[in-house]
Chain A
Amino acid sequence: MKRGETSLLPLEDAREAALFFVVGALCFLAALAALTAKSTYGAARAWTAEVEGEYTISLSDAAPQDALAATLLVQSVEGVDGARLLSEAEISALLEPTFGSRGLPADLPVPRLIAVTAAPGAGDIGRALTETLDEAGYTAAVDSHSAWAGDVRRMLGTARIVALGIVALLASTAIAVIAFATHAALLARRDIVDVLHIAGARDRFIAGLFERRFWLLGLRAGTVGALVALASVALLIAIARSSGNRSGLLPELTLDFPDLAVLVITPVIAGLAARIAAGITVMRALKSVM
């Protein structure tokens, strides 16, 4: 359509208003699901990065001097970036959730703990630590946190796949709804299509009219859906920050550039999906007439 020309399809009616709402709602849900998928991926990386390369050595029945000597021994192991003997206060703090703030029972046998950090790219040094301590005669247990990190990764990987599945499902639903709506619009405007057809309009020309209409509808509805999703996420972040996130267990919620990119892309994808669905539907319908 050239500038200033009236569209050959009439302006949107009540049916398109309903479709606008449905597509907008689907885009809102899809944007939220995409953000969920992205943030679970980010959370998994943050959580596992914190514990990967970290080892905790517990020494049973070790005197303070022995623990210090073991720490120095660990620092000499190849691949170790740093090793530090945890103080009794730090150990008490770790056990506080279990024993409370009044301190540990005097008769509780508490192991000495050495926090070890592997050098970047050192790989798994757990075995080397165990062998070195065994050879030196220490009764030590080395915990690489790998089981816990693996669990976290598996759980968040599943959550991410579910979220991506929801995105795909919502996108398919939106496309199906738009295809159905296009077909209904085509039937409702059969008279116009017939006149254009008999006037010599090619199928591509007629399909182009519907493609433009539904591209704009998808783009506008997608924009509204994405903006509502942005507002929802911003509200969630504000609530999370006001509650303090004191445990430090959950990763901090943020809205970064990739999140904004998801919100910008959502309406474009919605518009493209609407355009393609409309084009295919119209071309198929026109094939049924001479």
Chain B
Amino acid sequence: MTQLRPDIFDEAAVRLDAVTLRYDASGEILSGIDLALKPGSFSFLTGASGAGKSSLLKLLYLARPPSTGEVSLFGRPTSRLTRDQLSAMRRRIGVVFQEFRLLGHLTAYENAALPLRVMGRKEAQYRADVEELLAWVGLGERMHKRPETLSGGEQQRVAIARAVVTQPDLLIADEPTGNVDPEMGARLMRLFIELNKRLGTTVIIASHDLGLVRQINAPVYHLANGLLVKNAPEPGKASRRRGDGIEIKEAE
């Protein structure tokens, strides 16, 4: 079993220790990844297509275990958790999938409320909140439509609403602005920042949109050849601090 380093163990919301991942007999997709994200941090994950971003995110939202190494969330090594404990931990994570993964037979409203149903909440308790959230992402008029009648951007927003509806401790987004116009993209990013600022949600966003990444002065982790490297913020650009630890750079 991987030996955990106690010095950073307690303070990391997300921690990967010497994590490798391989599918079947293929080579390693991820090689010896070490990563520690503080609670309430905001980070980007970049890398070329096929670099393993989605695979790394799968480890973080507990869709699969690493081949070797340890993934710890909120201070608990996930390899030691029971199935029910894993389910409970997943409820603290919001995930925005690149391909949305909305349930086609449910309306936008029902899709957004799905994690609350899974948690056993009564609709009377959450209806107003979910409707307000959907209105905020611009779907107030279309919340009772099914995904097949929504545009790609609208489906993306439903997926984001579903990910944040529980106000998760950890938000993982895979290309969350890939299908929306720049204005909506900026609006959604503000939602992520709001969650991060107000609720202390740890946010990690995978994106190959460097324009988006450059807008926000947050740590960037770059995946290449199965290895993860941390990039320092790009120097020489003016930035203004928002008072939440995240800097949004001025447009050049």
A and B associate in one complex: yes
Which residues of A approach B to under 8 Å, CB–CB? 2, 4-6, 8, 10-11, 191-192, 194-203, 205, 289-290
Q: Looking across the interface, which residue of chain A has its beta carbon closest to that of B100?
A: A195
Q: Which residues of B contact A202 (CB under 8 A)?
A: 83-84, 87
Q: Per-residue CB proximity of B51-91 to A under 8 Å, as 1/0?
A: 00000000001111100000000000000000110111111
Known contacts A2-B123, A195-B101; A200 and B118 CB within 8 A of each other: yes
Q: Does the CB pair A200–B90 fall under 8 Å?
A: yes
How long is the Cα–Cα vector from A10 to B102 in the complex, in angstroms?
13
How long is the Cα–Cα vector from A11 to B104 in the complex, in angstroms?
11
Q: What distance in Å separates the Cβ of B31 from its nearest Cβ neighbour in chain A?
A: 21
Q: Does the CB pair B103–A195 fall under 8 Å?
A: yes
Q: What distance in Å separates the Cβ of B232 from its nearest Cβ neighbour in chain A?
A: 33
Q: Which residues of B contact A10 (CB under 8 A)?
A: 103-105
Partner of B114, one of A11, A191, A194, A195: A195
Q: Which residues of A contact B103 (CB under 8 A)?
A: 8, 10, 192, 195
Known contacts A198-B95, A200-B115, A200-B119; A290 and B87 CB within 8 A of each other: no
| Interface residue? B122 (CB, 8 A) | yes
| Interface residue? B106 (CB, 8 A) | yes
Interface residues of B in 91-118 (CB under 8 A from A): 91-93, 95, 101, 103-107, 110, 114-115, 117-118
* A-B contact list, 9 entries, CB within 8 Å: A6-B110, A8-B117, A194-B63, A195-B103, A198-B61, A198-B62, A199-B118, A199-B162, A200-B118
Q: For B61, B84, B104, B117, which residue has the most chain A Cβ atoms within 10 angstroms?
A: B117
How long is the Cα–Cα vector from A21 to B195 in the complex, in angstroms?
51
How long is the Cα–Cα vector from A192 to B118 in the complex, in angstroms?
13
Q: Which residues of B contact A290 (CB under 8 A)?
A: 62-65, 86
Q: Does the CB pair A6–B105 fall under 8 Å?
A: yes
Which residues of B approach A to under 8 Å, CB–CB? 61-65, 83-84, 86-93, 95, 101, 103-107, 110, 114-115, 117-119, 122-123, 162
Q: Which residues of B contact A205 (CB under 8 A)?
A: 118
Known contacts A199-B115, A290-B64, A290-B86; A2 and B122 CB within 8 A of each other: yes
Q: Looking across the interface, which residue of chain A has its beta carbon closest to that of B116?
A: A199
Total A-B residue pairs with C-beta atoms closer than 8 Å? 65
How long is the Cα–Cα vector from A219 to B91 in the complex, in angstroms?
34
How long is the Cα–Cα vector from A289 to B61 in the complex, in angstroms?
13
Known contacts A2-B122, A11-B105; A201 and B87 CB within 8 A of each other: yes
Q: Does the CB pair B122–A199 fall under 8 Å?
A: no
How long is the Cα–Cα vector from A6 to B114 in the complex, in angstroms?
11
Q: Looking across the interface, which residue of chain A has its beta carbon closest to that of B83?
A: A203
Q: What distance in Å separates the Cβ of B174 from its nearest Cβ neighbour in chain A?
A: 12
Q: Does the CB pair A201–B118 fall under 8 Å?
A: yes
> Which 5 residue pairs spanning A and B have beta carbons closest together?
A200-B91, A200-B90, A10-B105, A201-B118, A199-B115
How long is the Cα–Cα vector from A198 to B123 in the complex, in angstroms?
21
Partner of B90, one of A2, A11, A192, A199: A199
Q: What distance in Å separates the Cβ of A289 from its nearest Cβ neighbour in chain B?
A: 8
Q: What distance in Å separates the Cβ of A19 from its nearest Cβ neighbour in chain B?
A: 19
Q: Beyond A192-B103, A198-B62, list 14 extra A-B contacts (CB 8 Å).
A: A4-B123, A6-B105, A6-B110, A8-B106, A8-B114, A194-B101, A195-B114, A196-B118, A198-B61, A198-B63, A200-B87, A200-B89, A205-B118, A290-B65
Q: Which residues of A contact B90 (CB under 8 A)?
A: 197-200
How long is the Cα–Cα vector from A5 to B89 in the complex, in angstroms?
26
Q: What distance in Å separates the Cβ of B102 from its nearest Cβ neighbour in chain A?
A: 8
Q: Looking across the interface, which residue of chain A has its beta carbon closest to that of B113?
A: A5
Known contacts A5-B117, A199-B118, A200-B115; A191 and B101 CB within 8 A of each other: yes
Q: Which residues of A contact B87 (CB under 8 A)?
A: 200-203
Q: Which residues of B contact A194 (CB under 8 A)?
A: 63, 101
How long is the Cα–Cα vector from A275 to B110 in the complex, in angstroms?
26
Q: What distance in Å separates the Cβ of B99 from its nearest Cβ neighbour in chain A?
A: 10
How long is the Cα–Cα vector from A107 to B123 in the complex, in angstroms?
97
Q: Looking across the interface, which residue of chain B has its beta carbon closest to that of A200?
A: B91
Q: What distance in Å separates the Cβ of A167 from its nearest Cβ neighbour in chain B?
A: 37
Q: Which residues of A contact B64 (CB under 8 A)?
A: 289-290
How long is the Cα–Cα vector from A179 to B188 in the complex, in angstroms?
44
Q: What distance in Å separates the Cβ of A242 from its nearest Cβ neighbour in chain B?
A: 52
Q: What distance in Å separates the Cβ of B189 from its nearest Cβ neighbour in chain A?
A: 23
Q: Which residues of A contact B83 (CB under 8 A)?
A: 202-203
Q: Which residues of B contact A198 (CB under 8 A)?
A: 61-63, 90, 93, 95
Q: What distance in Å separates the Cβ of B168 from its nearest Cβ neighbour in chain A?
A: 10
